[in-house]
Amino acid sequence: MKLDLHTHTTASDGVLSPEDLVGLAKKSGLDALAITDHDTVAGLSEAMKSAMDHSIQIIPGMEVSCVASGIPCHILGYFIDYKSSIVTAYTAGAIRAREERMNRMLDRLADQNIIIQIEDVIREAGPERSSLGRPHLARALVRKNYASSITDAFDKLIGDQHPAQMAIDALGATEAIRLIRDSGGIAVWAHPRLEVLDKLLPELVAVGLRGLEVYRPKSSPQHILALKTRATKMDLLVTGGSDWHGPGLGVDLGRFYVTDDDVNQFLREGQLLA
Ligand code: AMP
Ligand code: ZN
Ligand code: FE
Ligand code: FE
């Protein structure tokens, strides 16, 4: 079985609609796909529906932006009850917070005489978007010739190190993990950086973190080994995914995958395997 446990759609900052992503995933040889849009579950119903036509398993997910001890991090929630009122309440607030943050970023850019309107960003995000993200802003910057490519926009203007980058008014990691657990999900730390791993891991595990995203397309063997060692030591699940956002952005869909062997325990806890 080939699985990709981390992907994005037009519901957040991905390029393909949920339906097109599911179709491409099947065509690309994947047997299971987790859809993990940023702070929204708006793509999941459509994905579930099209999965029925494509005989591929969809794992419902969401990538929650949060802050642990002042450090921004992403927690993946898998197998969440995405129709629950807790999730609905969370995403409504998070979508608003992302819009507010986008407006603050546009103000910061305007201070540098870079003029982008919120409508420009919303237009780039498309009619299916639910949560706004920096990639939408990057596309607007490219369209208005302030940057030559998405990468250039991040490198020059809106990457983490730039003054125009503003933090999202996000949940604390404790609340993020609680949200995922309260909606029946499994909380997994997305793309943990080695520099903050040992600092943050104990506090995250103490509040119910269940796993680490170990396998990623560009991870070094050392990085994978370090994460696997922590997972074993702390009795955590391991997962893996491509963090796919669209054609031509990173590795092709289906080129990177994990097997049911790699993530066996995760699939058991999610009740996809007996
Ligand atoms: P946000 O959650 O709005 O801060 O946006 C984060 C998203 O921006 C990530 O999930 C990536 O999709 C994208 N991103 C972050 N850094 C870069 C970069 N250097 N180049 C291209 N995309 C990036
Ligand atoms: Zn993204
Ligand atoms: Fe992420
Ligand atoms: Fe992601």
Please give the mean pLDDT across all residues of the chain: 97
> Would you call 85 exposed, middle or buried from its count of C-beta atoms within 10 A (0-12, 13-18, 19+)?
exposed
What's the token pair of residue 253?
A: 């869909």
The pLDDT of residue 54 is 77
Ligand nearest to the CA of 12: 2
Q: Which domains does the chain have, with CATH numbers?
A: 2-88+171-269 (3.20.20.140), 91-158 (1.10.150.650)
Q: What percent of the residues of the chain are helix, what percent strand, and what percent coil, each to the nearest 5? A: 45, 20, 40
Q: Tell me the backbone φ, ψ of residue 246, rounded to 5 degrees.
A: 165, 165
State the Cα–Cα distance between residues 206 and 266, nearest whole angstrom: 19
Q: Which one-letter amino acid corresponds to residue 242? A: S
Cα–Cα–Cα angle for 204, 219, 162, nearest 5°?
75
- Return the pLDDT at 227: 98
pLDDT at 125: 97
Of ligand 1's listed atoms, the one at least distance from the Cα of 165 is 4
Angle of CA points 44, 72, 4, to nearest 5°: 35
pLDDT at 221: 96
Percent share of the chain, pLDDT over 70: 100
| CA gap 3, 190 in Å, rounded | 16
Give the span between the Cα atoms of 214 and 159, in whole angstroms.
Answer: 24
Q: Summarize the confidence of residues 5-33 as an average pLDDT.
A: 97
Distance separating alpha carbons of residues 57 and 35, to the nearest angstrom: 11
Give φ, ψ of 239 to 5 degrees.
-135, 180
Ligand 1 pocket mutation pick from 12, 154, 251 by most atoms within 8 angstroms of CB: 154
> How far apart are the two ends of the chain, measured CA to CA in Å?
15
**Ligand 1 touching residue 38 (CB < 6 A):** yes
- Indicate whether 53 pLDDT > 90: no
Q: Which of 92, 35, 98 is nearest to 62 (CA)?
A: 35
DSSP 96: H
Task: Say if strands 57-68 and 71-78 run parallel, antiparallel, or are unpaired.
Answer: antiparallel
How far apart CA 82 and CA 183 sit, in angstroms, is 8
Residue 273: pLDDT above 90?
Answer: no
**154 within ligand 1 shell (Cβ under 6 A):** yes
Ligand 4 is an ion; its neighbours by CB within 5 Å are: 63, 243
Using 50, 70 and 90 to split pLDDT, how confident is the model at 243?
A: very high
Q: How close is the Cα of 252 to the center of ligand 4, in Å?
A: 15
Q: Is the CB of 6 within 6 Å of ligand 1?
A: no
pLDDT at 158: 98
- Ligand with the closest atom to the CA of 250: 1
Instruction: Tell me the average pLDDT across 127-140.
Output: 96
**pLDDT above 90 (res 73):** yes
- pLDDT, tens digit, for every residue of 187-226? 999 999 999 999 999 999 999 999 999 999 999 999 999 9
CA distance 28 to 12: 22
